[in-house]
Structure 1
Amino acid sequence: MRSVRVAVAPKAPQVGESAAARKLLCRLIASPATVVNGPNGRPFLPGRLDLSISLSHSGEWVAAAVGVGVDVGVDVQVPERATDGLIRRCCTSETGVALAGMADRDVEFAWIWTAQEACVKATGQGLAGLPWRIPVDVGQRAGTWQGVRWVSLRGRSPVPASCAYREMS
């Protein structure tokens, strides 16, 4: 059986970002858990290798994902100023042109970035996977990249967040 569960929530006051993301993960799996980082930095649950997990935080927001039978990646991003250079680096030229004319380009760019980063987290590569090379279009809600399926949580998350998954390796 394959399944993915994702949650995005505001960080509780007085709680660190990592602790808040881990607490959210515990709510997803309905039990306390010890999270350990592997040699490549990817988090996992010792003794629960049947589960894949991913955590993210940005500003006052945290996200957690748990996968059964799939490797997962999740990313949440509070929108920040998307400079022209950043857009050129992370988007195709067509997407860059579409973003240039948008009043809410910072928000739209954050949606694009969460999909890109969730994909490389699902592969276990993180930033070494060069997320900025993953093509994601303005307004795109789902897609695939190198065997990874991703879904934007538009309409389900108050801040840009995306989840990605692939068959467990």
Structure 2
Amino acid sequence: MVTARQRAVLASRARPRRASTGRYGGVVRLWLGTRVRVAVAEQRVLAHLPPSPSDLARVADLSAGPRAERLAARTLLRMLLAAELGGKAGAAPIAAHDSGQPHLPEWPEVTVSLSHEAGMVAAALGRGVPVGVDVQVPVPVPSALLRRCCAPAVRAALDRLPEPARDREFAWIWTVQEACVKATGAGLTGRPWAIPVPAGRRTGRWADLRWVSLRGYSRVPTSVAHGVGTR
């Protein structure tokens, strides 16, 4: 049986700690344990920073809007890598597996994840553990999507909320589901809608992952999932 003290220790490990933002004003940087780092920012905050030439080449075929959003996410990841691992890591090539999952060929012990949505970007890195991050700007949620993604008890809890609050709470749930399948590398083939997530929770477990919703840290729903080996 897990004692009250053990539960408190586990909770403290899962609770994000805010990192110093240094010269990167407007960027929220958080520590989750000793192995996971995450950053969240509005895209406009990063607009003045010159993108990496390799990143520019990577998104050259996209239209202006998606190109700017993806560049901002990569720029945020590079800032996070440089702050945590040094300038060499911040300048490292960012490749992608066939599934679309980003990775650093020159830093195989470091896992990374990116997310971007409607002017918001998020990035995460893990040292020796899988990691996934997802950001979601709330939008009106069709009833069919609620039925697909939420267990009956969760749907009932959401249905008791005013519509804007319901849409926002669903966005938190969806970011957990997405972050989990990003951490496994499966993406949508991992059926994120089948992952059970209670309403209103800040942290939980699924399979071999722990997930954390950045409630109180990010103004837009953002969640991170990572391997349970984090200490």
TM range (shorter): over 0.9
What is the aligned-residue RMSD (CA, Å)?
1.6
Structure 1 residues 85 and 110, CA gap change in structure 2 (3 angstroms): same
Name the residue aligned to 1:135: 196
> 1:18 is aligned with what amino acid?
R
Q: Secondary structure at the match of 1:8?
A: strand
1:154 matched to which residue of 2? Answer: 215
Matching residue's letter, 1:62: V
Q: Which has the higher contact order (CA 8 A, sep 6+)?
A: 1
DSSP 3-state at the match of 2:185: coil
**Kept in 2: contact 1:2–1:67 (CA 8 A):** no
- 1:73 and 2:132 correspond: yes
Q: Percent of counterpart pairs with the same letter? A: 52
Relative to its length, the structure with more strand (as a share) is 1
Q: Which residue of 1 aligns with 2:36?
A: 4
Distance 1:115 1:67 in 2: 17
Amino acid at match of 2:160: G
Give secondary structure in 1 for the equivalent of 2:182: helix
Q: Residue type of the partner of 1:133?
A: A
- Where does residue 69 of structure 2 map in the other structure? 17
Distance in 2, Cα, partners of 1:92 & 1:33: 42
| Aligned positions, number | 168
Unaligned runs of 5+ in 2: 1-32, 48-64, 83-89
Matches of 1:2 and 1:108, distance apart in 2 = 28
Q: Are 2:92 and 2:106, in contact at CA under 8 Å, matched by a contact in 1?
A: no
Provide structure 1 residue ranges, at least 5 long, that are not aligned to the other structure: none
Q: What's the offset of the Cα at 1:32?
A: 2.0
Aligned counterparts of 2:106 and 2:34: Cα–Cα separation in 1? 19
